[in-house]
């Protein structure tokens, strides 16, 4: 039996890629997968006292927190605004950076690129929320929410 791997992935290496490129100056990404359930309680299961359920729909969203920029490497607020205003479906990948880029200390021209191997989650998304925050005396930030259109797929080894 093989020993369990203790490989840890740092948050800075796990990123959201839209259309094959990272979002410029991202500070946080979150992938959330949710299941909607249907009550299947009946007299044969649980003796009438315990509820029974099954997952009837699965949905997923990805959120991104970012510093606001006009000249970043990768996707910017204006790119996401245009996609949202036009209702454009985008290709999204939640994965680590290419191993050849992971050791870099500065973002490569054009933005980070996703790893071609696992672990990787991908699917089509639409931008469903954009929030631009401009606090006095601090850097401007923005948040974006991407809602999955159809299945989220997991790359297999």
> Does domain 13-33+56-154 fall into CATH 2.40.30?
yes
Separation CA 151–CA 123 (nearest Å): 6
How would residue 2 be classed by pLDDT, with cut points 50, 70 and 90? low
pLDDT (tens digit per residue) in 92-109: 999 887 766 556 667 777
Domain positions in the chain? 13-33+56-154
- Residue linked to tokens 């259309």: 19
DSSP SS3 for 129: strand
Separation CA 120–CA 115 (nearest Å): 8
pLDDT (tens digit per residue) in 33-92: 999 999 988 888 766 778 888 999 999 999 999 999 998 888 999 999 999 999 999 999
pLDDT (tens digit per residue) in 12-26: 878 899 998 899 999
DSSP SS3 for 39: strand
Alpha carbon 57 to chain centroid distance? Answer: 19
What pLDDT shows up at residue 133?
Answer: 97
């Amino acid at each position: 039996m093989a020993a369990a791997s203790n490989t840890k992935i740092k948050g800075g290496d796990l990123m959201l890629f839209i259309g094959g490129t990272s979002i410029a100056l991202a500070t946080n990404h979150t992938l959330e997968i949710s299941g909607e359930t249907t009550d299947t309680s009946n007299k044969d299961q649980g003796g009438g006292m315990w509820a029974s359920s099954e997952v009837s729909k699965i949905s997923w969203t990805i959120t991104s927190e970012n510093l606001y920029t006009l000249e970043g490497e990768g996707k910017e607020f204006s790119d996401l605004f245009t996609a949202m205003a036009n209702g454009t479906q985008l290709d999204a990948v939640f994965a680590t950076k290419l191993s050849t880029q992971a050791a870099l200390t500065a973002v490569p021209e054009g933005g980070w690129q996703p790893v071609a191997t696992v672990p990787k989650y991908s699917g089509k998304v639409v931008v469903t929320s954009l929030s631009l925050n401009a606090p006095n005396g601090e850097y401007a930030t923005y948040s974006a929410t991407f809602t999955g259109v159809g299945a989220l797929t997991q790359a297999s080894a």
